[in-house]
Amino acid sequence: MANLDFTETPDLMETSNSSDESLVKDLSQVFKGFSKLTKDQRLEALVKAGLLAKSDLNFLARGGLRDTSLGEKFIENVIGYFQIPLGIATNFCIDNQDYVIPMAVEETSIVAAASKTAKWVRESGSIQTKVIGNEIIGQIQLAKIKDFTRFENLVLGHKQEFIDLANTEVAFGLVRRGGGVRNLSVRKIPRGDGQDMAVIHIYMDPVDAMGANIVNQVCEYLKAPIEELTGEKITMCILSNLVDSRLTEATVIIEKIEPELAEKIEEASLFAELDPYRAATNNKGVLNGMDPILIATGNDWRAVEAGVHAFATRDGQYRSITKWKRDGHFLTGTLRAPIIVGTVGGVTSLHPTAGMCMRMLNVNTAAELSRIVAAVGLVQNLGALRALTTVGIIEGHMKLHIKNLTLGAGATEKEMPFVAKKLEEILQLKKRISLSNAIEALREVRSQSMSQRKVVAKTQPQSSH
């Protein structure tokens, strides 16, 4: 493990209040009015619920990590840290279990939309999730196969030997924890030049690790015995991020919904199923909910995104990974995608903020974390479709974007409320606002302030000498 400076990290011995026994199972009291609280009040509520330790508060108060020594262990040529706001999405009840959702994200309205939509689902429906399959995939490629049929027969004929060899020599740690290599298969891929490519798929259960490093090691280890057995030349070994052998599914059912709204959401969903231009933006909205959790917990969000996008093209056309349908008086939404995450190893174990976020989630298994990620992604999608088909995306998003515009215009802390009020008035009238509106509003506020100071100065009695 990296040498951490524990003067800047939560005291690992003081996290006993985050044990299963002390955690509040019903978080409805924490959720109530959470967005109206000050930052200190939010932190106090999380401590009272057993989701944060007092050492976590000290860590956050100091600004999280400041010493770059940990960053030096992660990447090269370190010069500092790029900080992303860490927020909490509330109101989530997934598989009848309450969760506070840590989200590391810089985009306005994501946390608010997730919390607002989760409240709607909590009051009017439910969220259910499941994981289908357990294995991740490693690939062993042979660019040009001399005799595919002979190669396939040899490899499959010695399949169990290769599995046992990999589990004994490389994946023995996973085997002890109940995982390891489970299966292998052989694929033929026509090259288009009259020759064929062969690819061996290694299927491995990584238990609660993401498993990227270990599956790569397994593939590399099997290279020599496969070449010796077959006389064919292996070109490369690497994991695949399109893990269709381990899918996570989330389902949201809304029981109380106006028929007109349900129809609009269903039509918006159909648009994303049929049109790749719309599907790309739809899926980006889903990932607005997923990525912030992956970042907050130290997981590889780029790998998940790659898998999601590849899965979205599985039938030859890029499509939405979510689907919403009216079912009688209900609206039902589903999301199914490869969401490969880990709860042990890597940044998740080393980064103190990731560790703190994992304790807030009170998640112990990779399967549970992937189910939470899928649920939040689907809820985020529902919120976006609801906004798009009713008030439009601008009104809600830009209202929350007002703070950013006031900052961009250069408003001081005292000026911000006055500029924000003027921008709200412009948004109400014109249904849109921009940075130029904020700059003009700031000029007006400062002009009024100057005029008031002049009036006060004139009314002040002049001192005589």
Active site residues: 107, 284, 300, 397
Residue 413: partners with Cβ closer than 8 Å, 6 or more residues away = none
Specify whether the backbone of 365 is left (phi greater than 0), alpha (psi in -120 to 50) or beta.
beta
Task: Enter the tokens of residue 104.
Answer: 């590391």
Cβ atoms of 310 and 244 within 8 Å: the answer is: no
Q: Which residues of 316-333 are buried (b: 16+ CB within 10 A; e: fewer)?
A: eebbbbbbbeeeeeebbb
Q: What is the DSSP letter of 204?
A: E
Handedness of CA 106, 110, 114, 116 (dihedral sign): positive
d(CA 377, CA 250): 9
Cβ atoms of 135 and 205 within 8 Å: the answer is: yes
Task: Enter the tokens of residue 100.
Answer: 């506070």
Provide the CB-side half-sphere exposure for 155 (13 A, CA).
27
